[in-house]
Amino acid sequence: MDYFKRYFFIASVLFSELISAQSWQSNIVFYGNDGKLTYISDSDGNRIPDFSGAGYKGGGVDIPEIPVVKIIEAIQGDNTSHIQSAINEVAGFNPDGNGFRGAILLKAGTYQVNGTIRLNQSGIVLRGEGDGEDPSGNTIIFGKGNTPHQRTILIAGGGSLTRWSEQVPGTKTNITSSKIFTGEKSFSVENASLFNTGDNIIVYHPITDAWINSVQGGGTASDPSWVVQDGLNIIYNRYIKNISGNTITVDVPLFYTLDKSLSQSYIYKYSRNNLKTNIGIENLRIDIEAIGIPQDSNGDENHAWHAIELKQIEDSWVKNCTMRHFGQSGIMTSTASRVTIDSCKAIDPISKIDGERRYNFNMYHASQQILVKNSYTKYGRHDYVSNGTSTVSGIVFYNNVSDYTYSSSEGHRWWSQGMLYDNISFNNPNTGYVLALYNRGDYGTSHGWAAVNSVIWNCKIGGGKSIIIQKPPTAQNYSIGNFAGRITGLKSLGAPFDQPQGYIEGTNISGLNPVSLYIAQLEERLITSIRTDEPEVIESSFQLFDNYPNPFNPSTNISFRIPESGFVTLKIFDILGNEISTLIDEYKEAGFYNSQFTISDSKLPSGVYFYSLRSGNYTSTKKMVIIK
């Protein structure tokens, strides 16, 4: 499987260095004259939201390296209790100051598991020695048997699908803002004195007849009773960043406009009962015993159904893992927030090629701020999917690959919001349309509008296949800079139900800037955060930050921090090492600084350049890209 590691390494290099001679920006999200991203709203207030809050600790935070505190080796027969005993032992350890108890290392070998492993305490990392096929150098959890029928092999978190419903008594208060538009973070409430900065709150928009009518019954082709029975309540899991009077500002924007005239929304403090945090799964493989081949449309279904479930969990991760021969999900999330899934492979499912199967990376009920990056699927159906209805939002699928899919990656049912498909490649698809933000009408259990305020950005569809983009009532969906045989929202051109076409721009045109919407938004947020926090934060380390925007034209910002006073130089070089410009060459006090590099007065061509910072014994060099 080293091929995939090489593939993603090469892809990342090409991603940063391939420069198009003809760069272009979207008309609705672009770098303004101040070098910052500018967003244009439509007449209803819809705009592309900020997705940068996805991932561990809210995005932009490295997954930590946790020391090993327990080592085990595979034993003959069933290893379920063997692994569970190690987890239970480490669960009894006191967590450190960062909330971690330590890592359990499963030495290379095959661990037969006849039951379900429960990683059910905070602060524990389950780590193997590799996710390859050879047990002599890799850790393989082999899910054997079918007792109970279609079980899950590994469940991490508290284990309950609560949808964050548990309230701290006495903290419910109504939202008084008449409208909170998509992308906004601030709103007014009746009584903000019930809350403090840092509180974990839930924003709750209950289903009403008025709201259901405004969205045309949820978009089902006939009877909307399924929507009403299940409940199309919109829920957002957030942290309070600031309180001013009765105005509350949260950490992550809302992904749909909340209109008080249609539904009285409210907030409450989340009690976090049995929610587990700081859990990691790393460097291992889960192979499930199953009969047949992935291409079999009547494949065996008497085996474990999910490889990994992340349930009732926050600030956690799965990294460098392979899941194989599952029936429904390689990884499924529910009541899950701020999770990173990095460099994982969900491949070769064994099942019928039919509904409720082969959701390789499956964002189920109450999944928010989930980042799936640098990952790979093969022979899936809905490879990268939201299957959790209106409680799902803020999902980012970035820099992933799909091979031989049998259906579309999509928002799957009932008003999933704020999904971003960013730099995804689909190779050799076995289906007509491969990515879809659209109305699913009476498909399944009357799925209706499956995705709203969601974006497909700079994705590539092989085999001349299609992307479907449609506009929901009161919202929008977007296709920007994608490559496909056809991108449409029209039924006459392939959409399954007759609805308005969504926003489509730059189809099959190279040179989109920024190349990645997620990376651009993340970089901008992190730099803004550094500047905002600077008067309050004292750092002891020497740091040269990534320039933003990048790529850029004509200007970019370069920020750095020096731990002690001294002489500082900041210079720009071309790819051959020739000095282009000196931005700083002077004595500076310890602290945080920002400098701007502008090419408007020079004739520098498009290409890769370097900026280098020297201060005392410290040096650091980073790469940047000019595009014209």
Q: Looking at residue 279, which CATH number applies to its domain? A: 2.160.20.10
Apex 488 CA angle, 483 and 490, nearest 5: 170
- Which of 215-219, 350-354, 518-522 is predicted with the least confidence, judged by mean pLDDT? 215-219
Q: For residues 418 and 44, what is the distance between their CA atoms, to the nearest angstrom?
A: 17
Determine, yes or no, domain membership for 500. Answer: no
Domain end position, chosen among 381, 410, 444: 381
For 164-185, how does the pLDDT look when each residue is reduced to its tens digit (9 = 90+)? 999 999 999 999 999 999 999 9
How many CB atoms lie under 10 A from the CB of residue 265?
23
Tokens of 252: 């992550």
The Cα 497–Cα 439 span in angstroms is 6
252 band by pLDDT with thresholds 50, 70 and 90: very high
**The pLDDT of residue 538 is above 50:** no
Give tens-digit pLDDT for 104-141.
Answer: 999 999 999 999 999 999 999 999 999 999 999 999 99
CA distance 552 to 542: 25
Residue 302 has a CB neighbour count (10 Å cut-off) of 13
pTM for this model (two decimals): 0.84
Query: Residue 450 domain-assigned?
Result: no
The structure tokens 């991490």 sit at 156
- Residue ranges making up the domain that contains 367: 69-163+273-381
The 10 Å Cβ neighbour count of residue 371 is 25
- Give the domain-ending residue among 350, 381, 412: 381
- Is 184 within the bounds of a domain? no
pLDDT above 60 (res 323) = yes
Radius of gyration of the chain (CA): 25
Structural domain contains residue 394: no
3-state secondary structure of 102: strand
Identify the burial level of 434 via C-beta atoms within 10 angstroms of its C-beta, where 0-12 means exposed, 13-18 middle and 19 or more buried: buried
Identify the domain boundary among 337, 352, 381: 381
**Residue 229: inside a domain:** no
CATH of the domain at 550: 2.60.40.1930
- 417: CB partners within 8 A, 6+ apart: 234, 255, 256, 390, 392, 393, 451, 452, 453, 454, 475
Number of domains in the chain: 2
The secondary structure of residue 389, as a DSSP letter, is G
Q: Is residue 107 part of a domain?
A: yes
Tokens representing 98 are 């960062």
* Cβ pair 84, 62 in contact under 8 A: no
